[in-house]
Structure 1
Amino acid sequence: MSSPDHIHLTRWGRSGPRVVLVHGSAQGSKVGGDHHFAAQRALGEEGWQLVVPDRPGHGASPAPGRPDDAEADGAWVADLLGDGAHLVGHSFGGCVALAAAARRPDAVRSLTLIEPGMQKLAIDDPHVRRFVLKLVATLVFSFSPERRAMRFARLIGIPGGIRGGSTREERKAMGRGIARLKVPSAQTLRTELEVVMAAGIPLLVVTGGWSQSFDAVGARVASVGGGQHRIVASPNHFPNLVPAFNPILTAFMHGAEPRDG
């Protein structure tokens, strides 16, 4: 399994099927993937090998000199799949995971997307439209990068322990990163989901029930990709941190594992 030298990796577990977990957020955050997926660390003691990268410009990985870009990140995430792995992506990391799956579908045993940042795919839904209008207002009418980062975190539902921004400089950097996020087009997302469906990759989309917009997006993504949508009750954008999540994820991944004979 290879990865670029500049990508910091956290590993949990020494044996079992490989699972690659891709976090969201915006460049400038010092919070890495190990915090975003802290509740999944226990799976390393349950027969899974987890690989958790810090995306470029996040956590311990240095800034890449470009905006957050799902297609660019998807290229190196695809390399982390090795000869086969389960793939999990949260928020913008869901866009990255989908790009990686479309790039190397034969290496993906299953794909789990947690509250994916794919609003463009469901912009016809009124809940999604209202959310996107609020998001645009946050980007346009935040008169400083620091203010933008704080308003974005509240809108998205990011809990304090994960949102980053412990210093003013970090909040400024995150605010600049949010303004430059390169979100895939609806056509790109649809094409990649069609690749996933055509390849027969088991797809699970999880949302937390706290946001009608994210639930609508989750249902749409599952429909286009031929997968299933599950709501795991959560008070915020991180249903993967709720105790009920891990049993659902592991059952799904076990069901996608190849069977001998």
Structure 2
Amino acid sequence: MNDLVVHRVGRGPEVVLVHGGAGPRATWAGMESLAERWTLLSVYRRGFEPSPPVRGRHDFEVDAQDLAAVFQGRPHVVAHSYGVLGTLLAAVRDPASVRSLTLIEPPLYFLAPTDPEVVRLKYLGDTVLTDGLDAEPDSLREFLTLSGAPGIGAGSLPESARAAVRRAQHARLPGEIQLDLDVLRRNGIPALVASGAHTAGLERICDALAAALSAERLIAPGAGHFVAAAPGFTDRLERFLTASRTIR
């Protein structure tokens, strides 16, 4: 395959889980019951131990190359946040490599470039990815809060949040991605787009993405950016996966 670490658990059809800026444990909490009927392959992206370090910086192009190898068995794929970027690049290049796509709160700003909420979201994300802990403090806290980082109050930032910002700094900006989403729609790839009803900009992006892919749309509030932990998400995801098993 490649030198990424992929943890495998469960039995049944394969479901690849691709995390974003947070690690797999935080991203996929709440989905453990799926392992009773599905084989869950949890990818550790470069820069997240025990996978190797990044090649200079986090880059969705490198993610796409890594994931192309992981997708060789034509799995269902569930991707979150920054992890959606590499997932979509790999799927667009080889639509036959994925059985279905579940896409959770991706930073695909180009889908609604003039929406004020999306413009604000892009500003916050780009600022933190560029300036890291030197970003304007209020913007940094706002971004960390909407990203689901715990313990973001008025005092000093928790070390876990500081470490996450340092890890993400200098990542390739999401606005640089170029995608022909029509490829996925023309190839009939079943898709589910999910969000957590906590940030208006992400809701607008997810609405536009669902329209572009002719995808099912799921809004699952209650867990912020970590939508997988929201009440009812796992049941709804499993219904989608089961329906998608018989397509193509």
Q: Please indicate the TM-score interval, normalised by the length of the shorter structure.
A: 0.7 to 0.9
Please name the residue that 1:112 is paired with. 102
Partner letter of residue 144 of structure 2? A
Q: Provide structure 1 residue ranges, at least 5 long, that are not aligned to the other structure.
A: 26-30, 161-165
TM-score (norm 2): 0.85
Q: 1:198: which partner in 2?
A: 186
1:65 aligns with 2:55: yes
- Return the offset for 1:150: 5.7
Q: 1:212 to 1:104 in 2, by over 3 A?
A: same
Q: Deviations over 1:90-129 (max 9, x none)?
A: 0001112111211221121110001112123212212112
Question: Which one-letter code corresponds to 1:18 in the other structure?
Answer: E
Kept after mapping to 1: 8 A contact 2:195/2:227: yes
Amino acid at match of 1:221: L
State the match for 1:8 in structure 2: 5
Change in 2 beyond 3 A, CA 1:88/1:139: closer
Mapping 1:105-254, distance limit 5 Å? 105-138=95-128, 144=134, 152-159=143-150, 168=159, 174-185=164-175, 188-189=178-179, 191=180, 193-254=181-242
SS in 1 for 2:31: helix
Q: 1:109 to 1:140 in 2, by over 3 A?
A: closer
TM-score, normalised to structure 1, is 0.81
1:75 corresponds in structure 2 to 65
Q: C-alpha distance in 2, partners of 1:143/1:173?
A: 10
SS of equivalent residue, structure 1 residue 113: strand
User: By how many angstroms is 1:228 displaced?
Assistant: 2.2
Deviations 1:184-241 (CA, angstroms, capped at 9, x unpaired): 447613x1x2211111101110001111111001001111122122211134101111
1:247–1:17 distance in 2 versus 1, CA, 3 Å: same
The sequence identity of aligned pairs, in percent, is 32
1:47-66 correspondence to structure 2 within 5 Å: 47-66=37-56
Give the equivalent residue in structure 1 for 2:20.
24
User: For residues 142 and 200 of structure 1, do their structure 2 counterparts lie closer, same or farther at Cα, with a shift above 3 Å needed?
Assistant: closer
Matching of residue 256 in structure 1 with residue 247 in structure 2: no
1:33/1:59 contact within 8 Å kept? no
Measure, in 2, the Cα distance between the counterparts of 1:209 and 1:33.
Answer: 21
**8 Å CA contact 2:194, 2:206 repeated in 1:** yes
SS of match in other structure, 1:39: coil
Aligned-pair CA distance for 1:86: 0.2
Q: Which moved more, 1:193-202 or 1:127-136?
A: 127-136
Pair 1:36-2:27 in alignment: yes
Could you list the runs of 5+ residues in structure 2 that have no partner in the other structure? 152-156
1:138 Cα shift? Answer: 4.6
The AA in structure 1 aligned to 2:5 is: H
Equivalent residues, number: 243
**1:256: Cα distance to partner?**
0.7
Match of 1:28? none
Question: Considering only aligned residues, what root-mean-square deviation do their CA atoms show, in Å?
Answer: 2.9
Change in Cα spacing, 1:105 to 1:234, as seen in structure 2 (3 Å) is same
Shift of residue 167, structure 1, vs aligned partner: 7.7
Distance in 1, matches of 2:144 and 2:162, equals 13
- Whole-angstrom CA distance in 2 between matches of 1:72 and 1:167: 29
Moved more, 98-107 or 245-254: 98-107
Counterpart CA distance in 1 for 2:233 and 2:193 is 12
- Identify if the C-alpha distance between structure 1 residues 136 and 246 changes in structure 2 by more than 3 Å, giving closer, same or farther: same
Q: Distance in 2 between matches of 1:140 and 1:75?
A: 24
Q: Indicate if the aligned counterparts of 2:17 and 2:77 stay in contact, CA closer than 8 A.
A: yes
